[in-house]
Chain A
Amino acid sequence: MKKRMMRLISLALVGAMILPNAVVADEAAEEGKVLNIQCWNEEFKSRLTDHYPGYEEVDATHGKIGDVDVVWTITPSDDNAYQNNLDSILPGNEEAAADDKVDLFLLEADYAKKYVNSDVVVTETIADLGITDEELANQFQYTKDIVTDADGNLRGLSWQGCPGVLIYNRDAAMDVWGTEDPEQVQTMVASWDTFNKTAEELNAKGYKVVSTVNDTYRVYSDNATTPWVIDGKLNIDDNIMKWVDDSKALVDAGYTDTFDLWSDDWAKGFFPDGKVFCYFGPAWLINFCMHADEEGSIANLGRWGAVEGPQGFSWGGTWIAAAKGTDNKELVADIMRKLTMDETIMTDIVKDDSDFVNNKPAMEAAAEDDAYAFAVLGGQNPLGMFLAGAEKIDRSTMGDYDQGCTEEFQAAMKNYFDGNASLDEALDLFKKGVSEKYPELTIE
């Protein structure tokens, strides 16, 4: 009796193991029924919901494209949670059950290289998805360079370009100089020297030049000429040290603060009462972060203006990658085609969401067209400025360690700015933090 039971149980177990495998084998031939998407915020979701033809929203984390269920897994980037999540699921993605396989995931500029160049391949190449180089001719070259692996294979695509501008508060400019004209304002912030002098003028009128020193960080760091890590050795670029010196001077004079980016205190300047003169950022900062939907915000009132600022720069950017082992190759390829190549959809994104899209000819045309004026910028059309910036973007200093180093650097320098440490102590703290995150690096 007992023996027979055991046999039955083991038969049932074996059956349970074989059956799902059979199902997998069947489905691998055709497209999967579930499209799993990994991302860290709502940005891409709203792009897909608003602009992908045939996308139906079911609830906050589910949607439908035809008969395919779309499942969103949103893991915030805080504390590296998003990457930890990717790291744990992507390497075994090919073996995962059909409905659990990640099909599409998003990459941010700071760590794109990590997933593009990984020893364990976690992305499908764009060529494997059946997308040809000719189809990508309109995209900005830098958006392709970032996600090209060491062997020259393209492994991701982006719908946006991320050249940054200085975004200033028009009312503050009126208050201080009696003009809100971008050309006039640009003369006040044309170089870091004039920028820092302007800070004093603004302070006299009760305005902070930027919300926090971390606002200018990306402008300096993007203009760095050496990467964070050279041949396994930690390296701090001179331009980043210039950020430290300039920022310390601003903080000591009381012209700005040391809040963390994304904190509530940082975001206060998005409203008139925050009394912040400017922020630095690409289109996504304007359209996605500045509370444009909220009544009373400067963006909602359309009282921001855009100028080139002291230095051109780029910041961030989101790439769409197909996860290795995806069973929805065609659908993923179609999403890429629609969002990153289809001119009509892309110009719609510009119109509806004030984004700057990755399509050079379309942007060249739109830059001349008043129909593309940004409401958040009081009717100014910044596309020409973005276009000029995008042409100049050079991300050759990008590496695998950018995000960890940036985070540790900003956190450590806060102590120096706040007067809790000398510069050397803060630098030591930075090095300590990096050595904890990346024990394989040599640090002097």
Chain B
Amino acid sequence: MKNNRKAVSYNKWGYIFLIPFIVVYIIFQLIPLCTTIYNSFYENFMSGLKQIGPNFAGLQNYAKLFSEGDIWVYLKNTMIMWILGFVPQIVISLLLGAWFSDTMLRLKGQRFFKTVIYLPNLIMASAFAMLFFALFSDGGPINTILVNIGILKAPYRFFSHVWSTRALVAFMNFLMWFGNTTILLMAGMLGIDTSLFESAEVDGATSTQVFFRITLPLLRPILVYVMITSLIGGLQMFDVPQILTNGTGDPMRSSMTLIMYLNKHLFNKNFGMAGALSVILFIVTGILSLIVFRFSGNSEKAR
């Protein structure tokens, strides 16, 4: 009887220690999430200083989003810019990860380089975008240099062409995130049993073979994790293209992402439309997270 009570009182502490997290989670995550879903069923915006609504509108906001069809265009833009940034990111990260974790190479100054490649991530994305905007503007330093050394005859207008704008967004995302990915992949690679590499070496495998036959297959769970988290991050791409294109997503909204579109609805505090868009994004990211959950679950079983 006495023992039992003691056990219960220990349990109590577990709950007490959980309280800070639960409180923060409820206030900053759960309540906003529920109100977003709630708002998405209402017509609710400001016209000047006048509040219109909230009037219950059922699924009207969703219907409007899909009937206008723009959401697909912005989803496509987001995906294109994500892929453009993600492919070089994963290639470079794999390469760097392999080099850093390769015991044969014994690279010097590893710590230094690991820090350096992570540095771009520490700069605020908006500051980074401002910097690029200034660098690549029509009369900016990049254009001046290219014209002066004779590569270009006239300044190239980076932000007036679809693919140069998208490529710049992708390039910045790549720069900001490849360090992070490298460190994740490296951690995965260091977790692989070194005896596998040694026996491969004894069997006379080349380093390419080692990489493709041993490292990559064993790295699969980490790769999937990196890909899905990056995809979720990519879906929420906002600050870089927003600042780079001054919120317009120009040319012709070809670099407008889903969240930038959401931001457009916040001009007049249109919580209905913005809420509906958020709910759609929530569902999509939810599905992606489930996929990642399944993959990591499977690898657990395989082990």
Contact = CB atoms under 8 A, between A and B. Distances in A.
Interface of A: 79-80, 87, 90-91, 114-115, 118-120, 122, 257-260, 263-265, 268, 400, 404, 411, 414-415, 418, 420-421, 425-426, 429, 432-433, 436-440
8 contacts: A118-B50, A119-B49, A119-B50, A258-B160, A420-B250, A433-B264, A439-B45, A440-B47
Contacts of A265: 137-139
B301 to A, nearest CB: 48
A411 B250 contact: yes
Interface in B203-248: 246-248
Contacts, number: 71
A429 B252 contact: yes
Contacts of B48: 114, 118, 400
Given A411-B250, A436-B270, 5 more contacts: A260-B246, A415-B252, A420-B160, A432-B70, A439-B45
Q: Residue among A90, A437, A438, A439 with the most chain B CB within 10 A?
A: A439
B154 to A, nearest CB: 10
B251 interface: yes
A437 B267 contact: yes
B137 A264 contact: yes
B268 interface: yes
Contacts of B162: 420
Contact of B268 (A122, A259, A264, A439): A439
Contacts of B52: 440
Interface residues of B, number: 30
B47 A264 contact: no
A404 B49 CA distance: 14
B252 A421 contact: yes
A426 B273 CA distance: 23
Contacts of B160: 258, 418, 420
A80 B137 CA distance: 23
Contacts of B246: 260
A263 B138 CA distance: 10
Interface string B75-102: 0000000000000000000000000000
B265 interface: yes
A76 to B, nearest CB: 13
Q: Residue among A259, A404, A418, A429 with the most chain B CB within 10 A?
A: A418
B253 interface: yes
B265 A436 contact: yes
A311 B139 CA distance: 30
A432 to B, nearest CB: 7
A425 B252 contact: yes
B49 A120 contact: yes
A411 B264 CA distance: 14
B284 interface: no
A-B residue pairs, 4 tightest by C-beta: A420-B251, A118-B49, A418-B160, A436-B264
Contacts of B49: 87, 90-91, 114-115, 118-120, 122
